Structure 1
Amino acid sequence: MELINKYFKDLTETQRNQFAALAPLYKEWNEKINVISRKDIANIYEHHVLHSLAIAKEFHFKAGSQILDFGCGGGFPGIPLAILFPECHFKMIDGTGKKVMVAREIAQAIGLKNAEPVHLRGEEEKGKYDFIVSRAVMPLPDLMKIVRKNLSPKMNNARPNGVICLKGGQLDEELKPMGKKVEVVPISNYFEEEWFAEKFIVYSY
């Protein structure tokens, strides 16, 4: 929790309590269903919660924004973002039912009313959203083919509706097909921990 408080100083008491509850809940669920690498569960705040919240350092979603978490797994980045933006709605989809169940149970346990985890493949999702967020589920050009249909034509935020991905490593080849409508922001711009050195926010619109 120290990491969250370090970078997000204006949290409400409810938000602090929700973030604090995540580690024990994920540890408990991870013993039943492996949603986070067992050796990584000790780093949940740095590698999962804070990593998810990097998006919030680059984008401030307006109240009422509709956001789709594509390939949410056990709830990242959707659950941390839903805690931080309580006036936005986050639909969270994944093709693995067990992981969606964990996300749903954790959202309910912390009283998160604006997160909606659903067992659904991206191709089946019909809704329209201001933004689609994702954590490196597939190469960005492949992801865009699936989710372009889900981007709303109506703009509500300061930046154009688009897809926001958390990615790591060398991205040049992957992003070549995207042309100029892509921005890459190093997460190290915001977080000083060494683990973020090769991690990026990739925004395509």
Structure 2
Amino acid sequence: MDLILKYFPDLLPTQLSRYEILLRTLPQLNEKVNVISRKDILSLEERHILHSLSIAKKFHFDPDSRVIDAGTGGGFPGIPLAIMFPETTFILVDSIKKKIRLVEELCAHLDLKNVIPLNQRMEDVETKADFVVSRAVTAFPRLYQWTHKLIRPGHSGSMPNGLISLKGGNLEKELKPFQKRVKQFPLTEWFEESFFYTKMIVYLKK
């Protein structure tokens, strides 16, 4: 919990408790389904939870707003964000059933009532939301193609509704089709650990 507390010192006791449960429970559940690699499980707090929470450094979601997590995998970034924003509804989508089962089990352990797990391909999702978040699922143009029709116009948070993607590496070619419409926020604005040196939030307003 040291890293989470370092960057989010004002968490409520209920939030702290849930992050502690997540850190303790996910490795146990993951042993059965192997959704997250053993190497990454050893760096769970930094590489999964804190990485997911970087979105909360730039974006706040309004109560009663809806956020889709496209390709949630083991529940990231959706579950850490759902703990951070308990009055926002998070729809965690993945096409692989065992990943959604893991999400369901985690939500039961965490007593998270604001998460809706959805076992579906992103191309087939029809539910609307104010934001879509994603972490290293696919190239940004394809992610946009899957999700742009799902995002409602409006201003349901600290920034206008849109697509928020956690990315890494050289994004010049990937983001070229969007030119100046897309904004990039380096995670080194908030975090000093070397893991975050090449990591970005990529944001495209609806």
Question: Same fold, TM exceeding 0.5?
Answer: yes
Tell me what 2:96 maps to. 96
Q: Structure 1: how far apart are the matches of 2:155 and 2:186?
A: 25
AA matched with 1:115: V
Tell me what 2:167 maps to. 167
Tell me what 2:157 maps to. 157
Q: CA deviation at 1:153?
A: 2.4
The answer as to 2:119 corresponding to 1:125 is no
Q: Structure 2: how far apart are the matches of 1:146 and 1:50?
A: 26
Q: Per-residue CA shift, 1:78-103, capped at 9, x if unaligned?
A: 00000000010000000111011101
AA matched with 1:168: G
Q: Structure 1: how far apart are the matches of 2:116 and 2:186?
A: 29
Contact map agreement 2:4 2:50 (CA 8 A) in 1? yes
Structure 1 counterpart SS, 2:42: helix
Structure 2 CA distance for partners of 1:158 and 1:4, relative to 1, 3 Å: closer
TM-score w.r.t. structure 1 length?
Answer: 0.97
Q: CA deviation at 1:63?
A: 1.2
TM-score w.r.t. structure 2 length?
Answer: 0.97
Q: Structure 2: how far apart are the matches of 1:203 and 1:153?
A: 15
Q: Structure 1: how far apart are the matches of 2:10 and 2:27?
A: 27
Q: Structure 1: how far apart are the matches of 2:128 and 2:30?
A: 32
Q: CA deviation at 1:39?
A: 1.4
Structure 2 counterpart SS, 1:80: helix
- Note the residue ranges of structure 1 that are not aligned, 5 or more in a row: none
Tell me what 2:108 maps to. 108
AA matched with 1:143: L
AA matched with 1:77: P
Structure 2 counterpart SS, 1:62: coil
AA matched with 1:68: I
AA matched with 2:169: G
Contact map agreement 2:59 2:157 (CA 8 A) in 1? no
AA matched with 1:7: Y
Structure 1 counterpart SS, 2:128: coil
4+ residue segments displaced more than 4 Å:
none
Q: Structure 1: how far apart are the matches of 2:111 and 2:156?
A: 27
Q: Structure 2: how far apart are the matches of 1:15 and 1:156?
A: 22
Structure 1 counterpart SS, 2:170: coil
RMSD, matched Cα: 0.9
Q: Structure 2: how far apart are the matches of 1:104 and 1:192?
A: 33
Q: Structure 2: how far apart are the matches of 1:148 and 1:185?
A: 20
Q: CA deviation at 1:154?
A: 3.5
Tell me what 1:36 maps to. 36
